[in-house]
Structure 1
């Protein structure tokens, strides 16, 4: 490809070709002035620590996910996705914005327009190694979701060949599945489809593919390579697909904190005669040094009632919600286990699991939320942000927040592609919590300061 070739991203930015599939572009959005506004106190005296709504009213925002830190490395800034609406299913062509909030100055600035976004992951926004570098995704001129690196102090944006779901600690490589396929098993995680949830949806044929799986992108050159094909993941799974009826999707892949392994949620989906998609998920780990793939949670155990695994800070274990029926327990529990499924233990026999759990270093405190339909919901569409002392087997409520936001702005126990999850997540010091909610009926992001509690 000629270096002088020019294209446009789906959001209209002009791209100049460097290598096939690798582009740089001028980003005029970065020139916009930051807007000043005031953070709003939230239920003063009724939360575990001082809590504020840190996004401006009249607009809609989300953090990236419960296991992504939205604070910049220096701690001054917060990176979020601003959504164009909250009352409908996403469709390709609708533009969201990556935004940066200056927590000290109480200012917000749009820094990038993107068409690769969803209600659950936003634009998969995450920080680089410093306060000037951000990563997200966009849809390129060929209609494929690709990673983007933003320089917040300049005007240049670097667009890669590969998708971006996670970035290694040194910010040398990014990993991710083909993001368009995320919607095949659960809509509004990947970039929007042309017709929304009605499709047409990007899907894979039955059987594991040797040409799809987890992509690795060099963040210096922008080139992508297939790191781990789906065939290798299928080979490590205990539940065989003897009839070749499963379409094998990578739904999530995240580096362990020490960068030695990748945790992988695999979904082997099939559609029954009534049109229902059966996900058949499992959890695997991939060791970067040896290439070994091991199953941590089988499809059989996951399907007993399990969800939302994430790495423990020790990089050896996962934390997850599971219903350990094989142990004679039919309740949802917070559990912990090694990357190969060993060293399994229930973290509490008296406190029910829920939501999106993560562990504070040291292992004493667990953070989570709940769904509005779960037994732990507060009622009236509100859910608790839960902080559980595993040593004392005692639960604290960080805050209660309204999340039961359906498409009609009513309490309706809505479970669909535009649902709102709180997704509480820690800062780097593990003394502040960022979470989503709709305290005034608009999707907002809040922060609770727990420094005095700890």
Structure 2
């Protein structure tokens, strides 16, 4: 009874054309379901062979009453040796970026450029014990690089979106456009004007020289889209390098009379790009290899759901095993066999954490986590699961206690 029905999902798909109306109706419908179905005494339940702990429990740090979280699902919070763990800790209008290790913590920096979904895009440099995160400096957004002791390594003139696998460069985009169109992914700057789309888009920043280059102009993407939506209604999001770093994917979105439209592009290192998914709806994805994506989106053949997409041929394979669960945030295990993903709250306000075995196509429910009604819209607390480097644990954020916090689920016995 807790999952939304196929009819409800079809209605939601139709309302995709009217994002403002959909948002308001969704809030009302969630509230009705909450009072009708939610068990407000329930907090969480995990699988018998899984062990749940807080970051404070695992790393011996002192508990706090502040909200803590890591952020998005495409990066992970652990050091390479897993002896340390990164978190954002909310402090008024800022977040403290903290490294928990050996029963203590180090504040690596404080950021004024953050949101509840992605934090400050805080992420480890893959080749050095340093951390990159976004911040405000005067009236501009920058990326900062700091060492694990808090010493500043560098400041870059553009904010980071995605870091190259070898750590030599990163992709940057315009977060002010997200503030205008998707404020839950922006930094609350409320921009009065936006750059001309000819000089805006997706940038590459070289880390050794700090030089930047516009790889994909937003205007070039607007020219390919058949819409009357004005330039300020277009934006980019979710850029992600493939495992080799030779190419990357990103979303071009706009809000027009046709509703919110998403196009998934793949681009080479020179910014030459082409559409690989173009049926209105594309949301979240992860790379399976240097040519395949695991992506939730819409295709003419199968409708909405998870697909394996070959970015070279454009071929898609529908993942029917996850058909009952809706959209989520997928992440591939280090050994390539498993995908962990999550769900949005069902009518009982429970979020599910799911393990999908690519070999057997089995789906295991790792846990359910209650989300209080006040965590909705831009303040929602998606689980955003991420694998540990050794593939034995999953990090995720949750608000099931009534406060936003970060958790670690040991799944080693389930996998064995």
Normalised to the residue count of structure 1, the TM-score between the two structures is 0.74
Question: What is the match of residue 7 of structure 1?
Answer: none
* Unaligned residue ranges in structure 2 (runs of 5+): 1-42, 57-62
1:104-119 equivalent positions in 2, closer than 5 A:
105-119=102-116
Question: What is the match of residue 344 of structure 2?
Answer: 371
Question: What is the match of residue 147 of structure 1?
Answer: 143
Displacement of 1:82 after TM fit? 1.4
Question: What is the match of residue 177 of structure 1?
Answer: 173
Moved more, 221-230 or 164-173: 221-230
The structure richer in helix per residue is: 2
Q: Whole-Å Cα distance in 1 between the matches of residues 320 and 254 of structure 2?
A: 31
Mapped pair 1:383 → 2:367: no
Q: Whole-Å Cα distance in 1 between the matches of residues 384 and 193 of structure 2?
A: 27
| Pair 1:433–1:148, CA change in 2 (3 A) | same
Deviation sequence 1:287-311 (CA, Å, 0-9, x none): 11x542111111xx133xx421232
Mapped pair 1:346 → 2:318: yes
Question: What is the match of residue 279 of structure 1?
Answer: 260
Deviation sequence 1:199-223 (CA, Å, 0-9, x none): x445548xx8220011222222333
| Pair 1:130–1:286, CA change in 2 (3 A) | closer
Q: Whole-Å Cα distance in 2 between the matches of residues 202 and 255 of structure 1?
A: 31
2:246 to 260, 263, 267: 260
RMSD over aligned Cα atoms = 2.6
Does structure 2 conserve the Cα–Cα contact (< 8 Å) formed by 1:53 and 1:446? yes
Mapped pair 1:311 → 2:291: no
Question: What is the match of residue 81 of structure 1?
Answer: 88
Displacement of 1:351 after TM fit? 3.7
Q: Whole-Å Cα distance in 2 between the matches of residues 452 and 155 of structure 1?
A: 39
Deviation sequence 1:308-343 (CA, Å, 0-9, x none): 12322x12111112243x22x45x422110225612
| Pair 1:203–1:400, CA change in 2 (3 A) | farther
Does structure 1 conserve the Cα–Cα contact (< 8 Å) formed by 2:106 and 2:149? no
Secondary structure of 1:440's aligned partner: coil
Deviation sequence 1:150-182 (CA, Å, 0-9, x none): 022363352111111111122111111022221
Question: What is the match of residue 166 of structure 1?
Answer: 162
| Pair 1:161–1:402, CA change in 2 (3 A) | same
Displacement of 1:278 after TM fit? 3.7
Q: Whole-Å Cα distance in 2 between the matches of residues 233 and 74 of structure 1?
A: 41
Mapped pair 1:129 → 2:136: no
Secondary structure of 2:220's aligned partner: helix
| Pair 1:404–1:281, CA change in 2 (3 A) | farther
Question: What is the match of residue 390 of structure 2?
Answer: 429
1:337 to 280, 297, 309: 309
Secondary structure of 1:210's aligned partner: helix
Displacement of 1:370 after TM fit? 0.7
Displacement of 1:116 after TM fit? 0.3
Secondary structure of 1:279's aligned partner: strand
Q: Whole-Å Cα distance in 2 between the matches of residues 402 and 234 of structure 1?
A: 41
| Pair 1:79–1:281, CA change in 2 (3 A) | same
Q: Whole-Å Cα distance in 1 between the matches of residues 363 and 276 of structure 2?
A: 28
Question: What is the match of residue 32 of structure 2?
Answer: none
Does structure 2 conserve the Cα–Cα contact (< 8 Å) formed by 1:72 and 1:130? no
Does structure 2 conserve the Cα–Cα contact (< 8 Å) formed by 1:67 and 1:358? yes
Q: Whole-Å Cα distance in 1 between the matches of residues 192 and 266 of structure 2?
A: 26
Does structure 2 conserve the Cα–Cα contact (< 8 Å) formed by 1:145 and 1:178? no
Displacement of 1:245 after TM fit? 6.2
Does structure 2 conserve the Cα–Cα contact (< 8 Å) formed by 1:246 and 1:269? no
Question: What is the match of residue 451 of structure 1?
Answer: 412
Mapped pair 1:269 → 2:255: yes
Moved more, 439-448 or 116-125: 439-448
Q: Whole-Å Cα distance in 2 between the matches of residues 333 and 385 of structure 1?
A: 17
| Pair 1:282–1:59, CA change in 2 (3 A) | same
Paired residues, what number? 366
Q: Whole-Å Cα distance in 2 between the matches of residues 388 and 263 of structure 1?
A: 23
Displacement of 1:101 after TM fit? 1.4
Question: What is the match of residue 205 of structure 2?
Answer: 217
Question: What is the match of residue 418 of structure 1?
Answer: 379
* Unaligned residue ranges in structure 1 (runs of 5+): 1-41, 86-93, 194-199, 408-413
